[in-house]
Chains A and B, each alone.
Chain A
Amino acid sequence: MSAALARIPRPVAALLLALAIHLIGMALIRGFGTMFGIRAMLVLATLLAIAAIGQTLVIIIGGIDLSIPFVIGFANVTAAQLYGDGVPFAVVLPLVLLVAMAIGALNGLVSASLAIHPLIVTLGTGTALQGAVQLWTAGFPTGAAPSYVTSFVSIGGSIGPIPVPWLIPAFLVLAALVILALGRTVYGRRLYALGSNPRAAQLALVDPVRTWTITFALSAGFAALTGVLLLGFSGAAYARVGEPYLFQTIAAVVIGGTTLIGGRGGYLGTIAGALCLIELTTVLVGLGLKPPLVQATLGVTIVALVAIYGREAHVRELI
């Protein structure tokens, strides 16, 4: 059974799983499969998938990025505050993205050049960043997103007759670009090379410090983008809005079959993983479980899923 399961490509397995959860939800919960419900799940899964782009790239090179939730919060609050103060949004967005990417670049640079585990570096810079943002806004951020950002991500939005907000097609283009970049560009191949064997990659003239710096900068950039989109989604700024994304991005990546050891996996799996997580959460909430029990069930499910198809090799197979 597990041998047969292991032969299914992991993104496909995760997608099938999301579909299965959806069917279970339709069978058990009245009104689960309605258009509105599906649209809501699509938007939520898309936001998670965008936040998880960076986590996917970073995990492929063998790192991990714990600063994602803090960067999301930073972008969320800063964008609202600046736009509320009258700065045009065309200035706000690039500014927020650039500052976030600078912080991400610092994460990658420090981790790679000094061989410090990125877990600690990203945790340190992320915590300091969140403190700084909260200090600046005194804990009570004001401001909002421009109305076109709100309608861009709105669950009720539509493109002409198609009942999805513009976020969805825009994300499909972005996802295609990420998948292309991973599979068909020199940068993508460098990520896999560094992730599977850093020493061999260096001998093949891949510069690890440069690649790590670029990748962590990208990760922070996508996190900041998520923060701005979340501002449009929820309407008000909140410095801790990114908190659920710490573990959800890692979970989406892992369920999608990208291994934390690095060098294997891809973004298609992460999208499927994000769909799985959102479907599962929605079904559990729909079944009337209280948030703590939803959390407990998610924990068990993540472990069970990875136990079925995400196991590591035994040490004897590594010799």
Chain B
Amino acid sequence: MSRWLAGRAYLRLAAALFVVLLAVNIALNPVRFAPASLGVTIGLASGLILAAIASMPPILAGRGGIDISVGPLMGLVNVVVVRWLVEGLGIESPFLIVPLVLLLGLLSGALNGLLATVLRIQPIVATLGTSLFYAGITLTIVPSPAGTVPAWIKALAGPTSILPLAAVALLWLLIKRLPFYEQLLCVGSDDRAAYTAGIPVTLVRFLAYVLAGLIAAVGGLCLTGLIGSADPNIAGTYTLLAISAVALGGVSLAGGRGGLVAAVLGAADIFLLQTALTFFNVSTFVLQIVYGTVLTVAVVLNADRLRQLLRRRRHA
């Protein structure tokens, strides 16, 4: 454990924040964090956690890699599932809906990957373009909240909320066993060196976007369970929250440093911060102030440069 942590000093702050916030939350609201209601609590957080995990691979791949379309894609999945699959085609079986959702995620990820790595459009612009596209399509399919979802999707935000998270965690563990994982970190740390060493840089980056789309689609399904209907206005906010979560978890936006635990911890921190503050019934405005301040202070405290500056002062 200590050896595992030694290589991940960037996690310390997010982990400490997690422990403190969890303690505060349990003290404030013991019922919500009792084992019996854990399913519902995880269900409240799983959309944000999955959005954060989805944002991570393109950021890890470096050179400005980022996927802004994570939130809008989750919104698209939400309305496609409710309006087209459930209402339109009458499909309710998880064995049809889940593969179709994953396919949508794969295609979207491949589209982002194609634009950002093969066509080499700057990632923030490429995924901004797809974001606007998805958000527009989503609002066109469902202009205002409507529809219902099958019981098993609702359960994804309740008793079975751990399932999608566990599936994505398994996928990530599997990926870590593949050469792709090392290649991703290499490309993120120094793409020129990686290219010279024979790593297929474009392919690795492309796959990072595919992975993002796939995981975001799972997140969209969880979000659908949480909302219980099609709502075009909710998922859009998830992009910036997810990127904040990733940064809070200590993932370097320059690439090459980060992992699943960082994204999950960062997202959990934001979620716990929200639940603790809403317990006090503060307005959304106070929530916004605290959230912005915590994000800024956290990245400042987590900065390598700050550590170097402090160390230099101590030696001097």
CB under 8 Å from chain B, chain A span 274-290: 290
Instruction: Decide if A116 touches B285 in the complex (CB within 8 Å).
Output: no
Q: In the complex the two chains form, what is the Cα distance from A292 to B138 in whole Å? A: 8
List 23 contacting pairs A-B, 8 Å CB cutoff, sorted by A: A117-B247, A117-B253, A120-B253, A123-B292, A124-B293, A124-B299, A125-B292, A126-B292, A130-B288, A131-B289, A135-B286, A139-B283, A250-B124, A251-B125, A260-B122, A260-B124, A291-B139, A292-B139, A295-B135, A296-B134, A302-B132, A306-B129, A315-B195
Chain B interface (Cβ < 8 Å from any Cβ of A): 64, 66, 115, 119-122, 124-126, 128-140, 143, 191-192, 195-196, 201-202, 240, 243-244, 247, 253-254, 283-293, 295-296, 299-300, 303-306
Surface stretch bound by B, among A26-34, A107-115, A146-154, A160-168: A107-115
Instruction: Decide if B115 touches A261 in the complex (CB within 8 Å).
Output: no
Q: In the complex the two chains form, what is the Cα distance from A312 to B303 in whole Å? A: 29
| Contact partners of A316 in chain B: CB under 8 A | 195
Q: Taking the nearest CB of chain B, how far is it from the CB of A123, in angstroms?
A: 6
Instruction: Give the total number of A-B pairs whose CB atoms are below 8 A apart.
Output: 171
- The reply to whether the CB of A311 lies closer than 8 angstroms to some CB of chain B is yes
CB under 8 Å from chain B, chain A span 302-317: 302-303, 306-307, 310-316
Q: Which of A110, A139, A303 contacts B296 (CB 8 A)?
A: A110
- The reply to whether the CB of A299 lies closer than 8 angstroms to some CB of chain B is yes
Q: In the complex the two chains form, what is the Cα distance from A314 to B243 in whole Å? A: 26
- The reply to whether the CB of A319 lies closer than 8 angstroms to some CB of chain B is yes
Instruction: Decide if A251 touches B128 in the complex (CB within 8 Å).
Output: yes
Q: In the complex the two chains form, what is the Cα distance from A126 to B244 in whole Å? A: 13
- The reply to whether the CB of A196 lies closer than 8 angstroms to some CB of chain B is no
Q: Which of B119, B139, B285, B300 contacts A114 (CB 8 A)?
A: B300
Instruction: Decide if A247 touches B286 in the complex (CB within 8 Å).
Output: no
- The reply to whether the CB of A16 lies closer than 8 angstroms to some CB of chain B is no
Answer whether A295 and B292 are a contact pair too, CB < 8 Å, given A306-B121, A315-B201. no
Instruction: Decide if B285 touches A318 in the complex (CB within 8 Å).
Output: no
Answer whether A115 and B243 are a contact pair too, CB < 8 Å, given A110-B296, A135-B283, A302-B128. no
Answer whether A128 and B289 are a contact pair too, CB < 8 Å, given A119-B243, A292-B135. yes
- The reply to whether the CB of A175 lies closer than 8 angstroms to some CB of chain B is no
- The reply to whether the CB of A236 lies closer than 8 angstroms to some CB of chain B is no
Instruction: Decide if A299 touches B129 in the complex (CB within 8 Å).
Output: yes
Q: In the complex the two chains form, what is the Cα distance from A121 to B303 in whole Å? A: 12
| Contact partners of B293 in chain A: CB under 8 A | 124, 128
Return the chain B residue nearest A66 by Cβ. B240
Q: Taking the nearest CB of chain A, how far is it from the CB of B62, in angstroms?
A: 10
Instruction: Decide if B285 touches A131 in the complex (CB within 8 Å).
Output: yes
| Contact partners of A292 in chain B: CB under 8 A | 135-140, 143
| Contact partners of A259 in chain B: CB under 8 A | 122
| Contact partners of A311 in chain B: CB under 8 A | 119-121
Q: Taking the nearest CB of chain B, how far is it from the CB of A224, in angstroms?
A: 18
Q: In the complex the two chains form, what is the Cα distance from A227 to B48 in whole Å? A: 32
Instruction: Decide if A261 touches B288 in the complex (CB within 8 Å).
Output: no
| Contact partners of B305 in chain A: CB under 8 A | 113-116
Q: In the complex the two chains form, what is the Cα distance from A129 to B293 in whole Å? A: 9
Instruction: Decide if B119 touches A307 in the complex (CB within 8 Å).
Output: yes
Q: In the complex the two chains form, what is the Cα distance from A290 to B138 in whole Å? A: 13
Instruction: Decide if B131 touches A123 in the complex (CB within 8 Å).
Output: no
Return the chain B residue nearest A107 by Cβ. B296
Instruction: Decide if B135 touches A261 in the complex (CB within 8 Å).
Output: no
Instruction: Decide if A247 touches B132 in the complex (CB within 8 Å).
Output: yes
| Contact partners of A291 in chain B: CB under 8 A | 139
Instruction: Decide if A254 touches B135 in the complex (CB within 8 Å).
Output: no
| Contact partners of A135 in chain B: CB under 8 A | 283, 285-286, 289
Q: In the complex the two chains form, what is the Cα distance from A251 to B132 in whole Å? A: 12
Instruction: Decide if B196 touches A299 in the complex (CB within 8 Å).
Output: no
Instruction: Decide if A318 touches B192 in the complex (CB within 8 Å).
Output: yes
- The reply to whether the CB of A41 lies closer than 8 angstroms to some CB of chain B is no
Q: Taking the nearest CB of chain B, how far is it from the CB of A117, in angstroms?
A: 4
Q: In the complex the two chains form, what is the Cα distance from A172 to B140 in whole Å? A: 39
Q: Taking the nearest CB of chain B, how far is it from the CB of A281, in angstroms?
A: 12
**Residue of B121, B126, B295 with highest tally of chain A CB at under 10 A:** B121
| Contact partners of B243 in chain A: CB under 8 A | 119-120, 123
Instruction: Decide if B196 touches A319 in the complex (CB within 8 Å).
Output: yes
Instruction: Decide if B64 touches A261 in the complex (CB within 8 Å).
Output: yes
Instruction: Decide if A120 touches B124 in the complex (CB within 8 Å).
Output: no
